[in-house]
Structure 1
Amino acid sequence: MFEQMKQRTILCVDMKSFYASCSALALGLDPLDCYLAVVADTTRSGSVVLAATPKLKKEFGIKTGSRLFEIPNDPRIQIVNAQMGIYLDISTQLTRFFNRYVPFEAIHVYSVDESFLQADGTEKLWGDGIALAHKIRNDMLREFGLTCSIGIGPNMLMSKLCLDIEAKKHGVAEWGFTDIKEKLWPLPLREMWGIGSRLERRLNRFGIRTVGHLAAFDLKKLEKEFGVMGNQLYYHAWGIDLSDLGAPIMQGQVSFAKGQILLRDYEKEEEIKCVILEMCEEVARRARRAKKAGRTISLGLGYSQEQMGGGFYRSLSVDEPTNLTMDVYKACLRLLARHYRGEIVRQISITLSNVHDDSVQQLSLFEPNKPKQKDLSYVMDAIREKYGSNALLRAVSYTKAGTARHRSTLLGGHKA
């Protein structure tokens, strides 16, 4: 199966405790020798820990997702607010740094702290992938004071899997197609990039519990149940990924989503609806910016710890692809009416998926104003793009329940 596969050298570079390391360096501290936590808001005891230095993780058990009140009262520990402006600036500097080793078009910035580099053709300059990875790590530590882990593979998928499963433990690791049977197939599905908990449960119903089970499953049955994604899942279990650098590795996962942890518990349904409407506006705007529309709307609610946690995540599909705020909102209200029973809410997520190009619009006798609504939405987007996201806000954003005004002052969801 692998004989005709294109052999590339892809490096997946992941910065170690990036936010915490940057904040430590800004304070003149050694990221590897200090105890520092970055939180969303130091004034709120329930604030989420966004990053922690390695020693804080190892010795105190504090990690990303912990809460501020869980951090021990120890004089060695420093707690700071997120400084997204600094993190984004350093991330940009790192991209320029990578450009020393590979052409700019061979760099794909996957997130603030993770990038893919295609190193084909650089062997005469830097050696093979392993030699290049070690040089990048050493030069980065010397010049930035930052550390990273690097996974190497023949494609984006394999380099990412190598990073997550092996390189994060050892610093640098390389996987080839000959490693799949021994290193990939024994893994539970949840460790496979692109398989979340919901998809894992669906696969479990077919008796598929490991990546090896997935590789051995009947391809036609997977395609019948999951469509194009079933085909991708099967070949990914064999380590095969034909996507170009920078393309979505799971094409079926292209979607527009927004999630937020609320600053307080929301007990009233009307207040919850206010936040949902604000979030629908943002999700629809992101879709319009990409000139896309979606047929499947998903709503997720996470309940407060006072409710002992829990929640739901449900979806429904509409007849025609949409990127109109009120269409998405109406679908969310239907899901809310079906599944919400008055619990106290602390987290909300909304997703628009099953995406199509927004180039064709079906005209309806029952909704003659749809074209005008669509044009108005794009005009409102243009105004916000020019004058800022808070230039036009819905009335709900000025109520006590609204969060959009506060979030418009943040960068990347956190203090700048």
Structure 2
Amino acid sequence: MDESFIDLTGTEKLWGPPENTIKEIQKEILETLQLHSTAGMGPNILMAKLALDLDAKKTGFAKWTYEDVQTKLWPVTPLTEMWGIGRGIEKTLNNMGIFSLGQLARTPLELLEDKFGVMGNQLFHHAHGVDLSDMGSPTVERQISYGKSQILMRDYNKVDEVKSVILEMCEDVAKRARDTFQAARTILLGIGYSKDAFGGGFQRARTIHDATNDTMKIYNVCLDSLKENYNRNPVRQISISITKLEIRR
């Protein structure tokens, strides 16, 4: 297991403050497995992940709150240090004159939505430390997209290997949509190339006529985008998201 999220809300009467519980978990991992671990704590999934990636990996444990956004999050640069921002998005933001998360947070929401669509909305709110995603199945009322991003354990040089991962990821996002009786009209595929190939990649969104939560239909749209844009460089990161959701009973 690489990492996991734990919601400790309401456990104070059992084990005391969440900080103590986290340290007890880390202590048990060390005593049982002889492995050191790191933990990030925050008011939502995003903040906990940022505390882990940007702080706890140096200290073992870090807690971030909304009060820390301006002092700890906004100075972060390059933008790829931010969870969810790949090289392709970073390049576009750089071309817009945005090089730090503080600059991103101060960019008008309308401008980001015009440039990135629904992802622009997410970028804006994430730069402010706001994340509405749940630990479990998201509620229909506030869910605006389903997505999955994966950094591969090694460079994938064969297109069939890339297609296999894309199929698995399509099933993941399609199932989450089906579980909440939703279907999507816009499907986005992102491919990040290996650093050995000097990075880069592409992100392409395609809107279809009829909304779907069918795995193979989503997969085939992704294959079309892959066929049109993939330049055969080794792949190290894949992301898929589905947006423009509609209720499908």
User: Is the Cα contact below 8 Å between 1:294 and 1:352 reproduced in 2?
Assistant: no
Residue 139 to residue 300, structure 1, CA distance change in 2 (3 Å): closer
For residue 207 of structure 1, report the CA deviation from its aligned partner: 1.4
For the pair 1:201 / 2:96, whether they are aligned, the reply is no
For the pair 1:240 / 2:130, whether they are aligned, the reply is yes
Q: Counterparts of 1:361-376 in structure 2 under 5 Å? A: none
Hey, what does 1:254 align to over in structure 2? 146
Instruction: Provide TM-score, normalisation by structure 1.
Output: 0.46
Residue 256 to residue 230, structure 1, CA distance change in 2 (3 Å): closer
Hey, what does 1:230 align to over in structure 2? 120
* 1:226-249 deviations in Å (ceiling 9; x for gaps): 33332332222222233333467x
Residue 346 to residue 210, structure 1, CA distance change in 2 (3 Å): closer
User: Is the Cα contact below 8 Å between 1:184 and 1:211 reproduced in 2?
Assistant: yes
Residue 299 to residue 325, structure 1, CA distance change in 2 (3 Å): farther
User: Is the Cα contact below 8 Å between 2:173 and 2:241 reproduced in 1?
Assistant: no
User: Is the Cα contact below 8 Å between 1:295 and 1:319 reproduced in 2?
Assistant: yes
For residue 311 of structure 1, report the CA deviation from its aligned partner: 7.3
For residue 185 of structure 1, report the CA deviation from its aligned partner: 1.0
For residue 332 of structure 1, report the CA deviation from its aligned partner: 3.3
Residue 202 to residue 166, structure 1, CA distance change in 2 (3 Å): same
Hey, what does 1:408 align to over in structure 2? none
For the pair 1:139 / 2:31, whether they are aligned, the reply is no
Distance 1:153 1:252 in 2: 22
* 1:137-163 deviations in Å (ceiling 9; x for gaps): 223322333321111222222121111
Hey, what does 1:5 align to over in structure 2? none
User: Is the Cα contact below 8 Å between 2:149 and 2:238 reproduced in 1?
Assistant: yes
Q: Which runs of 5+ in 2 are unaligned?
A: none
Aligned-CA RMSD value? 4.1
For the pair 1:319 / 2:208, whether they are aligned, the reply is yes
Secondary structure in structure 1 of the residue aligned to 2:76: coil
Residue 193 to residue 252, structure 1, CA distance change in 2 (3 Å): farther
Distance 1:357 1:180 in 2: 33
For the pair 1:187 / 2:76, whether they are aligned, the reply is yes
The residue type equivalent to 1:149 in the other structure is T
The residue type equivalent to 2:189 in the other structure is S
**Greater RCO between the two (CA within 8 Å, min separation 6)?**
2
Q: Counterparts of 1:239-388 in structure 2 under 5 Å? A: 239-246=129-136, 254-255=146-147, 272=159, 282=168, 285-286=171-172, 289-290=175-176, 291=178, 295-296=186-187, 298=189, 300=191, 312-313=201-202, 315=204, 317-320=206-209, 321=211, 323=214, 325=216, 328-329=219-220, 332=223, 336=227, 338-339=228-229, 346-347=234-235, 352-355=240-243, 356=245, 359=248
* 1:358-379 deviations in Å (ceiling 9; x for gaps): 948xxxxxxxxxxxxxxxxxxx
* 1:187-224 deviations in Å (ceiling 9; x for gaps): 01221222121111222222111111112222232233
Q: Which runs of 5+ in 1 are unaligned?
A: 1-111, 267-271, 361-416
For residue 164 of structure 1, report the CA deviation from its aligned partner: 1.0
